[in-house]
Amino acid sequence: MLLSITAPAVAAGCAFAPQGEGRVTDIIDARSFRLQDGRDVSLIGIEPASTADTKANRAAALAAIIAGRDVTLRGDDDTPDRYGRQPAFVFLDSPDTSEQVSVQAALLAQGAALVAATVTDKDCAATLAAAEATARLAKRGIWADPAVIKNTESPGDILAGIGRFMLVEGKVLSVRQAGATTYLNFGRNWTRDFAVTIPKRMIAVFEAAGIVLKSLENRRIRVRAAAFGLRPFCCASASRWLAAATSAGSRPSIRRSPRARSSPAISSPRRLPPSASMNEFCRPMAAPTTIRSSKR
């Protein structure tokens, strides 16, 4: 039933080198399964949504597509992850055509997953994003719940999902630099409001994509990644991680800290809490692409 939802074929994106085949014997969770030869495989390029749905229900969506089926694994690196799973883009033979169907795209198209921020190939990222957009427009699966996109004006909802992948949307009130970090500030209270952190080493990646971070002030953007820390922080290390949601109106008034008055480049500086690990959340982000705008 799930494969009746249009899912892009291998030729449309994620056309990496084959990494083997096998028959699925067990579904481990919403993103991983076991083959008959004993290999554990992890679906890369997608993330489970942070919703009230149970783990069993999320795993059932994957089982309905691949349980007992022969699959083809594709990717540019078959090195097992720290749990011993082979990361791969997974494909099934289509019952209607001679092409193979992307399992990741099928899950996205029925609203059973979100596109991850780790896809570095632009064609593959575009294929997965198109599948996700299909579900979003049709309000399928997780998209039937408007709360799937968190609002930066409700930081408590973001904090409730600490450590989990999520989509967060809101208006950037200010863009400030403190030390080696640039902060996209979505509120004026640094102890409570949401912020996106961008390491200095990644600024060139945004600039190469034609994105001037300062230009994001007063614009609504959507960020895609895991939240972390004792306060609602996210870390962005590549431009695909940010997508413009709307253009915004007039420039807001930004309150400045005493330090900022003596140094205009540093206003309301935010510091990462001790429990937050920058490297853990910044390394796996995606390659650059152009910010997309869509007025609402």
Q: What is the pLDDT of residue 202?
A: 84
Model confidence over 233-247: pLDDT tens digits?
Answer: 566 545 555 665 533
Model confidence over 248-278: pLDDT tens digits?
Answer: 332 222 222 223 332 222 222 333 333 322 2
Model confidence over 97-121: pLDDT tens digits?
Answer: 678 899 999 999 999 999 998 888 8
Model confidence over 78-87: pLDDT tens digits?
Answer: 899 999 999 9
Class of domain 2-144: mainly beta
Query: Is 11 a residue whose pLDDT tops 60?
Result: no
Q: What is the pLDDT of residue 290?
A: 28
Model confidence over 128-143: pLDDT tens digits?
Answer: 999 999 999 999 999 9
CATH number of 146-282: 2.40.50
Domain positions in the chain are 2-144, 146-282
Query: Is 51 a residue whose pLDDT tops 70?
Result: no
Using 50, 70 and 90 to split pLDDT, how confident is the model at 159?
confident
Query: Is 284 a residue whose pLDDT tops 70?
Result: no
Model confidence over 165-197: pLDDT tens digits?
Answer: 888 999 999 999 989 989 999 998 877 888 888
Same CATH fold assignment for domains 2-144 and 146-282: yes
Mapping DSSP onto H, E and C, the string for the chain reads CHHHCCCCEHHHCCCCCEEEEEEEEEEEECCEEEECCCCEEEECCEECCCCCCCHHHHHHHHHHHHCCCEEEEECCCCCCCCCCCEEEEEEEECCCCCCEEEHHHHHHHCCCCEECCCCCCHHHHHHHHHHHHHHHHHCCHHHHCHHHEEECCCHHHHHCCCCCEEEEEEECCEEEEECCEEEEECCCCCCCCCEEEEEHHHHHHHHHCCCCHHHHCCCEEEEEEEEECCCCEEECCCHHHEEEEECCCCCCCCCCCHHHHHCCCCCCCCCCCCCCCHHHHHCCCCCCCCCCCCCC
